[in-house]
C-alpha cells in the first residue's frame, strides 16, 4: 500500500471531549499512512482515553503532564515535536480553542501549541449551543485570521443527546485535511508569484487624495498563503494598515502609474500575476503644489482623467505568465466579471459582489465566484480570505499543471 504521509512528523493534540475516541482512530490512520505521530493530551482528555492507548499506537511517549517525568515525554522529545510538519488538535474543546486564541499555556497541549511555529489544524467538537456561543465563534474567526485551518464540525447526534452542529469531523475527513495541508506546504516551490494589493491613492494636493475602501486583506492573504506553500512572492501594495507577511518581498506604491511601473518591471520574472489591487480608475489631471484653498461659496471643479489599465498593459507584454484578475461588481456579477476576463485576456477572474453586506472590502470574509478562461464558473461559499486564498492557489496550480 502507498504510504502518502511517509516520514511526516505530526503532532496530535487531544483535549477533553467524548470525541477523544475518534482521535485514537485518527492516530491509527496516520500511522498506517507512514506518519510519525507525537500525541499531546490535556488533563481532561485522560478522563476519556488513557495515555497508554496513544503510546501503544504511536510507539512514542505521550506528552500529558507539564511537570512530568520520562513517562510524560522528555524535553528533547517535546522540542522535536515543536518542529513537526503539522499539528492537529482533534477534538478541540471550547476551552482549548479559547486558550489557543488568547495565548494561554497552562497544560501540555496549550503549551506545545504556543511554542509551535508550523501549520496547525483545529477540529472543534462540542455541544451545539457551545459551538453557537458568540465567544467561541469569535475565537474561531481569530484563529482563521491567523492562518489556522479550522475543520468545521458536522451536524448530527451529540454526546449530550441533542441533535445539532458540533460533532467532530470523521477521522477520514480529518486525514484528508491533513494530507491536503501537508501537500500544500511545498506545492508552489520553484514558482514566482507577483501579487498586487490594496487601494491606489491619487493626490490632489499635498494633503488630499482620491482613494477607495480596499483594505488589502485579500492580496495579503494570497501573498501569505503562496509563501507558506513554497512560492517566491513579491507583493506590490498600495497604502494599507496590514503587517507584511513573513518572507514576502514587499514593494510599496501609491499612484496607479507607480503600481503599473512596478508590475510591468517584475512581470518578466514571474510565473503568475494576481491583481487583487483595487486600482483607481481616475486621477486628477493636475496636482496642486500648494494646498487648494476654498474661495467663498464657489464650487471646486475637479477634472479627472482615466488612469492606465494595468491588466490591459500586461495583456500586451505577457509571455508564459498566468494572469488572474479580480472584479468587484455590484450588479450582474458573473456576467460583468466574465466580460472583464475576456477584455483583459485573463486566465481566471475572481468575482465578488460588493453590494452584499458583511463581505468584500474591509471584511475578513468574502464570498466569491471563480471564473476560468473557458468561462466555467465555480461559486464558493462564505469563507475567510485565507481559505479563499488557498482555494484560488489550488485552482491556479491546476491550470499551471495543465499547460
Ligand atoms: N485593474 C487594472 N488597472 C486599472 C483598473 C483595474 O489592472 N486601471 C485591474 C484590477 O486590479 C482588477 C481588474 O482590473 O484585477 C478589474 O478591476 P475593476 O475595478 O473591477 O474593473 P475596471 O477595469 O476598473 O472596470 P470598472 O471599474 O468599470 O468595473
The residue out of 184, 215, 245 marking a domain boundary is: 184
- Would residue 270 show up in a list of annotated catalytic residues for this protein? no
Q: Are residues 174 and 207 in the same domain?
A: no
Task: Kindly state whether residue 31 falls inside one of the protein's structural domains.
Answer: yes
Q: Does residue 344 belong to any structural domain of this protein?
A: yes
Q: Any alpha helices (H) in 124-213, and if so which ranges?
A: 128-132, 134-145, 171-184
Q: Which residue has the cell 514566482?
A: 192
Give the Cα separation of 205 and 188 in Å (integer). Answer: 43
Q: Judge whether 326 and 276 are in contact, CB under 8 Å.
A: yes
Q: Mark whether 32 and 146 lie in a shared domain.
A: yes
Residue 141 CA to ligand 1 centre (angstroms): 30
Full pLDDT tens readout for the chain, 403 residues: 567 899 999 999 999 999 999 999 999 999 999 999 999 999 999 999 999 999 999 999 999 988 765 555 677 778 888 899 999 999 999 999 999 999 999 999 999 999 999 999 999 999 999 999 999 999 999 999 888 999 999 998 888 788 889 999 999 999 999 999 999 989 999 999 999 999 999 999 999 999 999 999 999 999 999 999 999 999 999 999 999 999 999 999 999 999 999 999 999 999 999 999 999 999 999 999 999 998 888 999 999 999 999 999 999 999 999 999 999 898 999 999 999 999 999 999 999 988 887 776 778 889 999 999 999 999 999 999 999 999 999 999 999 999 8
Q: Is the CB of 339 under 6 A from ligand 1?
A: no
Give CA–CA dist 175/161, Å, rounded: 27
Which residue has the least CA distance to atom 16 on ligand 1?
Answer: 327
324 lines ligand 1 (CB under 6 A): no
Relative to the CA of 308, which ligand 1 atom is closest?
A: 8
3 domain residue, yes or no = no
Does residue 271 sit in the same domain as residue 397? yes
Which residue out of 327, 344, 351 has the highest number of ligand 1 atoms within 8 Å of its CB and is therefore the one to mutate?
327
Please enumerate in sequence order all residues whose Cβ is within 8 A of that of 223, keeping only pairs 6 or more positions apart, or say none. 193, 195, 197, 233, 235, 245, 248
Atom of ligand 1 nearest to the CA of 307: 8
The set of cell numbers assigned to 23 is 482521535
Considering the domain architecture, whether residues 179 and 203 belong to the same structural domain is answered as no
User: Residues 308, 257: contact at Cβ < 8 Å?
Assistant: yes
Say if ligand 1 is within 6 A of residue 200 CB.
Answer: no
Ligand 1 atom, smallest distance to 281 CA:
8
Instruction: Tell me, yes or no, whether 150 and 245 share the same domain.
Output: no
> Is 113 close to ligand 1, i.e. is its CB under 6 Å away?
no
Among 184, 218, 240, which residue terminates a domain? 184
Q: Are residues 391 and 248 in the same domain?
A: yes
Q: Is there a cis peptide before residue 91, judged by omega within 30 degrees of 0? A: yes
Cell representation of residue 285: 489631471
C-alpha to C-alpha distance for 226 and 147, rounded to whole angstroms = 12
Domain of 115, CATH number, reads: 3.40.50.1950
pLDDT of the residue at 3: 72
pLDDT value, residue 159: 82
- Give the pLDDT of residue 79: 83
- Contact between 150 and 89 under an 8 Å Cβ cutoff? The reply is no
Cβ(218)–Cβ(389) below 8 Å: yes
Distance 72 CA to ligand 1 centre (A): 57
pLDDT at residue 69 in the model: 57
In angstroms, rounded to a whole number, what is the distance separating the alpha carbons of residues 167 and 154?
Answer: 5
State the catalytic residue, choosing from 24, 104, 142, 160: 160
Pair 89, 216 in one domain: no
Give the Cβ contact number of residue 260 at 10 Å: 23
* Whole-number Å distance between alpha carbons of 111 and 103: 9
Ligand 1 within 6 A of 361 CB? no
Residue that finishes a domain, picked among 157, 184, 211: 184
Check if 158 has its Cβ closer than 6 Å to any atom of ligand 1: no
Element (H, E) at 261: helix 256-266
Mutate to test the pocket of ligand 1, among 201, 278, 310, 313 (most ligand atoms within 8 A of CB): 310
Distance in angstroms (rounded) separating the CA atoms of residues 272 and 347 = 10
pLDDT at 4: 85
Tell me what pLDDT residue 379 has.
Answer: 95
**Number of domains making up the chain:** 2
How far is the centre of ligand 1, averaged over its atoms, from the C-alpha of 278 (Å)? 7
The C-alpha atoms of residue 253 and residue 89 are separated, in whole angstroms, by 40
> Do residues 81 and 221 both lie within one domain?
no
Cα 348 to ligand 1 centre (Å): 14
**Pair (253, 374) in one structural domain:** yes
CA of 340 to the centre of ligand 1 (A): 8
* CA atoms of 13 and 89, how far apart (whole Å): 4
Is residue 368 included in any domain, yes or no? Answer: yes
Cβ density class 13-26: b for 16+ within 10 Å, e for less = bbbbbbbbebbbeb
Strands (E), 343-399: 348-353, 365-366, 368-372, 377-379, 383-384
At 6, list the grid cell.
511517509
Q: Is residue 97 within 8 Å of 140, Cβ to Cβ? A: yes
pTM, two decimals, is 0.88
Range of the domain at 357: 192-285+297-402
3-class SS at 200?
coil
Hey, CA dihedral for 192, 197, 203, 204, is it positive or negative? positive
Amino acid at each position: 500500500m502507498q504510504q502518502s504521509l511517509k516520514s511526516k512528523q505530526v503532532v496530535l493534540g487531544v483535549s477533553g471531549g467524548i470525541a477523544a475516541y475518534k482521535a485514537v482512530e485518527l492516530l491509527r490512520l496516520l500511522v498506517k499512512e507512514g506518519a510519525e505521530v507525537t500525541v499531546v493530551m490535556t488533563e481532561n482528555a485522560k478522563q476519556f482515553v488513557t495515555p497508554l492507548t496513544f503510546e501503544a499506537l504511536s510507539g512514542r511517549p505521550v506528552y500529558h503532564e507539564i511537570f512530568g517525568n520520562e513517562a510524560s515525554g522528555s524535553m528533547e522529545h517535546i522540542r522535536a515535536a515543536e518542529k513537526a510538519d503539522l499539528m492537529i488538535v482533534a477534538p478541540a474543546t471550547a476551552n482549548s480553542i479559547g486558550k489557543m486564541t488568547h495565548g494561554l499555556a497552562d497544560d501540555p497541549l496549550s503549551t506545545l501549541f504556543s511554542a509551535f511555529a508550523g501549520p496547525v489544524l483545529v477540529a472543534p467538537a462540542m455541544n451545539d449551543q457551545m459551538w453557537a456561543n458568540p465567544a467561541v465563534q469569535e475565537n474561531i474567526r481569530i484563529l482563521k485570521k491567523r492562518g489556522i485551518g479550522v475543520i468545521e464540525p458536522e451536524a448530527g447526534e451529540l454526546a449530550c443527546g441533542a441533535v445539532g452542529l458540533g460533532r467532530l469531523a470523521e477521522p477520514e475527513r480529518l486525514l484528508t485535511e491533513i494530507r491536503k495541508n501537508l501537500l500544500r506546504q511545498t506545492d508552489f516551490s520553484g514558482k514566482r508569484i507577483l501579487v498586487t494589493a490594496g487601494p491606489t491613492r491619487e493626490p490632489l494636493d499635498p494633503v488630499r487624495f482620491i482613494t477607495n475602501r480596499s483594505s488589502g486583506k485579500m492580496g495579503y492573504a494570497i501573498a501569505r498563503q503562496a509563501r507558506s506553500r513554497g512560492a517566491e512572492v513579491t507583493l506590490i501594495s498600495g497604502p494599507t494598515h496590514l503587517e507584511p507577511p513573513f518572507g514576502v518581498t514587499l514593494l510599496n506604491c501609491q499612484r496607479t502609474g507607480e503600481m503599473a511601473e512596478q508590475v510591468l518591471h517584475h512581470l518578466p520574472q514571474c510565473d503568475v500575476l494576481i491583481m487583487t489591487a483595487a486600482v483607481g480608475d481616475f486621477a486628477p489631471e493636475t496636482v496642486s503644489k500648494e494646498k487648494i484653498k476654498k474661495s467663498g461659496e464657489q464650487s471646486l471643479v475637479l477634472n479627472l482623467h482615466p488612469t492606465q489599465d494595468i491588466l490591459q498593459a500586461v495583456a500586451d507584454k505577457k509571455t508564459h505568465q498566468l494572469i488572474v484578475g479580480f472584479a468587484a461588481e455590484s450588479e450582474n456579477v458573473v456576467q460583468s466579471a466574465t466580460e472583464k476576463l475576456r477584455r483583459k485576456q485573463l486566465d481566471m477572474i475572481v468575482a465578488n459582489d460588493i453590494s452584499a453586506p458583511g463581505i468584500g472590502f474591509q471584511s475578513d470574509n468574502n464570498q466569491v465566484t471563480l471564473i476560468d478562461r473557458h468561462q466555467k464558473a465555480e461559486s464558493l461559499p462564505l469563507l475567510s480570505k485565507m481559505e479563499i486564498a488557498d482555494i484560488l492557489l489550488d485552482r491556479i496550480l491546476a491550470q499551471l499543471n495543465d499547460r
